[in-house]
Amino acid sequence: GHNQTVLRASGNLTEGARDFEVPIDSSIDSIYFFVSVQCLQSVAVIPPPGHEFNADAPEVTHHEFSAIRLVTIKAPAPGTWRIGIAGRGVYSLIVKAKTALALREVSLSRNGSPIVGATPLGERVRLETALSGAGREVSFHLISIDATLITSFDPSVIPANGTSTYTTDITLPLS
């Protein structure tokens, strides 16, 4: 199934509309979009070239409910997709992929010791991730719960037996 999370966001839609950027790479065989808005008006799924997808295309499965949209696209074009939502109230966006890439582990450490419990905000820490599969150009984006970009970084890589470990030093924001 679609077992790798690409993006997860939630919040309260008060301004009527919101766009989300979703990075899709060439390793993704199929992508699944779940959108829920309390008072849903519309959802637009826009592939990289800028054209709205064709819901009737054979590679697309599309379901509409009063407050939910479910869309699955086989062999999505790589690049930045956009999801536009309009409406009011609580929203949830979940984007999952069927891919050979898998995020295996994420950990934080300080001075070589794992951080257990509360994450130290405003302090420099080591972020380490383990990714299995054939990732070529790997970068990470730290986002807030509503998918607002906090920071992006290109980590150092340590390859090993089908799983690569990526590390970078970051300072977690205070808010």
- Of 11-15, 134-138, 150-154, where does mean pLDDT reach its minimum? 134-138
Query: How much is the pTM?
Result: 0.85
Q: Of 135, 134, 110, which is closest to residue 121 (Cα–Cα)? A: 110
Residue 162 has pLDDT above 90, yes or no: no
Mean pLDDT for the stretch of residues 43-53 = 82
Mean pLDDT for the stretch of residues 49-72 = 88
Residue 55 has pLDDT above 90, yes or no: no
Q: Of 96, 86, 94, 83, which is closest to residue 37 (Cα–Cα)? A: 86
Residue 31 has pLDDT above 90, yes or no: yes
Tell me the average pLDDT of the chain.
88
Mean pLDDT for the stretch of residues 57-80 = 93
Compute CA distances 151 → 9, 154, 164, whole Å. Answer: 16, 11, 22
Residue 161 has pLDDT above 90, yes or no: no
Mean pLDDT for the stretch of residues 145-167 = 82
Per-residue pLDDT tens digits for 16-29: 899 999 999 888 99
Q: Of 93, 98, 101, which is closest to residue 140 (Cα–Cα)? A: 101
> Would you place residue 153 in the very low, low, confident or very high pLDDT band (cuts 50, 70, 90)?
confident
Amino acid at residue number 21? E
Per-residue pLDDT tens digits for 69-122: 999 999 999 899 999 999 999 999 999 999 988 888 889 999 889 998 888 888
Mean pLDDT for the stretch of residues 164-171 = 87
pLDDT of residue 49: 80
d(CA 91, CA 113): 37
d(CA 122, CA 29): 38
